[in-house]
Chain A
Amino acid sequence: MATYSTNEFRGGLKVMLDGDPCAIVENEFVKPGKGQAFNRVRLKNLKTGRTWERTFKSGESLESADVMDTDMQYLYNDGEYWHFMHPETFDQKQADQAAVSEAAQWLKEQDMCVVTLYNDAPLSVTPPNHVELEIVETDPGLRGDTATGGTKPATLATGAVVKVPLFLEEGEVVKVDTRTGEYIGRVR
């Protein structure tokens, strides 16, 4: 298994720490004039999502984690697992609740997602930055009111609830930023 030394630590690098796959978030080199050099590292545990802080002697190394970000198409949810397919190899993977987590509310069938595979099994799922979803439930629209800037909650086809402008109606399709959960615009 490949290893990475502290001077190769970059944001996004995947390494093993205490048996868990982690992504390097930040790596700060600290060294008093003629003294021992250290690297103060922030890592995100990819299993739990929690951030860890660790200090290493410069030159120490960590094993690389067999973690790969793969573009896959979301197929369907069978009630327990979310199924994804690789668009070229047609290889299918099933992700559990822990892996899909928050992403579930944005997953629309056929959409392409980033599935993070650890030892070939889904570890986490990142939805596209922007998704287009139909409004399935919201208060009746105020026709012509495009100027006041007020908002109301709307439930989308995937179950996500976002704030939308007052004039929107059930059945309309909206574009949402999945990173912030914010309404971007109406899709005609």
Chain B
Amino acid sequence: MDRKTLIRLRADLYLQVRSYFQEQSVLEVETPVLGRSGPTDLHLASMSLPSGSSQYYLQTSPEFFMKRLLAENSGDIFSISRCFRDAEVGHRHNPEFSMLEWYRCGFGLADLMSDVEALVSRLLPHLTFSCHSYAEMFESCLGVNPHSASDMDLLNLVKSNTKFQGDLGRASCLDLLMSECVEPELAGEGQAYFLFDFPVCQAAMAQTGENEDMHLVARRFELYINGLEIGNGYLELTSADEQRRRCQEDNIARQSADLESMPIDEKFMKALDQMPYCSGVAIGLDRLLWLIAREKRLVKSSQVDLGEVLLFPWCSL
């Protein structure tokens, strides 16, 4: 695709996104790209840089700042921002990328999934959407319930179903089995899948609750289109105590993995208790743009390569 077409393609995408949110009365906000802290998640690596005598972190998502706005009663907000995740380089990853993130006050996960569907089906009009629980998809691919399986059961599944050898923790077993065994089943042409109710060990910043089988699950969903992970939505946790407990747990895990522990963002913590009941979602705009380009037959192959839709991909800087 020539560069002019690519410039226009992204400009059109942003125009459509902004017009959707204007109709929905969701306000666009700008948040800092540099913050005083980053996420504590074990598998998110923030890039940091010094300024004056302080250390600043390039944001891995606008989440902390947007939640602080929500706590100030901003109402529904969205942002299109540049995010940074260190060492994530590949066909599906660029260390600097564009994210669309939005929050809807009073929305549960089902409302938010409908909202996502309404936006995405404007951008990709030929999609068929379906909705499945994480457990349902996992069980139909691997024959085991992911919530009740023991750590050992999961490791055995990894041994017999993937090309990985060695030891892995519970969450990582689930990640690997998802990407090697379940994701290929979500690759149907023109199919969009919402997966909801995630394993509780992957709750991150989502609320937890019991599903109909009485398993504790994380109130999260992910959207897959043509097998590509596009978005990640949460019923947002609004308890600072619970969030602090999870961050401390993360930092213990970081220390045992020889990673720097991350300072806990106290302003964010304070905001959590003031936040309204809401759901939020983040969508990878570069991936979405690739799917749009693919639908218009502007990409080389059906294998995703974000380098095709970035004007300045990481490897060409």
User: Are the C-beta atoms of B163 and A53 separated by less than 8 Å?
Assistant: yes
User: Are the C-beta atoms of B163 and A54 separated by less than 8 Å?
Assistant: yes
Contact with A along B17-39 (1 / 0, CB 8 A): 00000000000000000000001
Residues from chain A with a CB closer than 8 A to the CB of B298 are none
Contact with A along B67-111 (1 / 0, CB 8 A): 000000000000000000001111111000000000000000000
User: Are the C-beta atoms of B88 and A38 separated by less than 8 Å?
Assistant: no
Residues from chain B with a CB closer than 8 A to the CB of A57 are 164, 166, 168, 172
* Interface residue A34 (Cβ < 8 Å from any Cβ of B): yes
Q: How many A-B residue pairs have CB under 8 A?
A: 69
Q: A31-B88, A54-B165, A58-B87 are contacts. A38–B93 as well, Cβ < 8 Å?
A: no
* Interface residue B222 (Cβ < 8 Å from any Cβ of A): yes
Residues from chain A with a CB closer than 8 A to the CB of B168 are 36, 57
* Interface residue B267 (Cβ < 8 Å from any Cβ of A): no
Residues from chain A with a CB closer than 8 A to the CB of B89 are 7, 29
Contact with A along B277-288 (1 / 0, CB 8 A): 000000000000
User: Are the C-beta atoms of B229 and A29 separated by less than 8 Å?
Assistant: no
Residue of B nearest to A37 (CB): B43
Quick one: which of B39, B163, B229 contacts A32, CB cutoff 8 A? B229
Residues from chain A with a CB closer than 8 A to the CB of B166 are 57
User: Are the C-beta atoms of B176 and A28 separated by less than 8 Å?
Assistant: no
User: Are the C-beta atoms of B175 and A36 separated by less than 8 Å?
Assistant: yes
Residues from chain A with a CB closer than 8 A to the CB of B172 are 35-36, 57
Residues from chain A with a CB closer than 8 A to the CB of B171 are 35-36
Kindly provide the distance from the CB of B47 to the nearest chain A CB, expressed in whole angstroms. 15
Interface size classification for chain A: 10 to 19
Q: Which of B93, B162, B163 has the most CB of A within 10 A?
A: B163
Residues from chain B with a CB closer than 8 A to the CB of A33 are 222, 229, 232
| Interface residue ranges of A1-32 to B (CB < 8 Å) | 7, 28-32
Q: A35-B43, A35-B171, A38-B164 are contacts. A30–B204 as well, Cβ < 8 Å?
A: no
* Interface residue B44 (Cβ < 8 Å from any Cβ of A): yes
* Interface residue A56 (Cβ < 8 Å from any Cβ of B): yes
Quick one: which of A31, A34, A35 contacts B93, CB cutoff 8 A? A31
Kindly provide the distance from the CB of A18 to the nearest chain B CB, expressed in whole angstroms. 9
* Interface residue A55 (Cβ < 8 Å from any Cβ of B): yes
Q: A29-B90, A33-B222, A33-B232 are contacts. A38–B179 as well, Cβ < 8 Å?
A: yes
Residues from chain A with a CB closer than 8 A to the CB of B295 are none
CA distance A58 to B232 in the complex (A): 22
User: Are the C-beta atoms of B93 and A40 separated by less than 8 Å?
Assistant: no
Kindly provide the distance from the CB of B224 to the nearest chain A CB, expressed in whole angstroms. 11
Quick one: which of B43, B162, B163, B232 contacts A31, CB cutoff 8 A? B43
CA distance A31 to B87 in the complex (A): 11
Residues from chain A with a CB closer than 8 A to the CB of B164 are 38, 54-57
Kindly provide the distance from the CB of B22 to the nearest chain A CB, expressed in whole angstroms. 28
Residue of A nearest to B60 (CB): A34
| Interface residue ranges of A33-47 to B (CB < 8 Å) | 33-38, 40
Residue of A nearest to B232 (CB): A33
Kindly provide the distance from the CB of A10 to the nearest chain B CB, expressed in whole angstroms. 11
* Interface residue B202 (Cβ < 8 Å from any Cβ of A): yes
Residue of B nearest to A54 (CB): B163
Residues from chain A with a CB closer than 8 A to the CB of B44 are 34
* Interface residue B151 (Cβ < 8 Å from any Cβ of A): no
Q: A35-B172, A36-B172 are contacts. A29–B163 as well, Cβ < 8 Å?
A: no
B residues neighboring A (CB under 8 Å): 39, 41, 43-44, 87-93, 162-166, 168, 171-172, 174-176, 178-180, 202, 204, 222, 229, 232
Q: What are 10 A-B residue pairs whose CB atoms fall within 8 Å in the complex?
A: A7-B87, A29-B91, A29-B93, A33-B222, A35-B43, A35-B171, A35-B202, A40-B180, A55-B164, A55-B176
Q: What are the nearest 9 A-B pairs in CB distance?
A: A29-B90, A35-B175, A36-B172, A55-B164, A55-B163, A36-B175, A53-B163, A33-B232, A34-B41
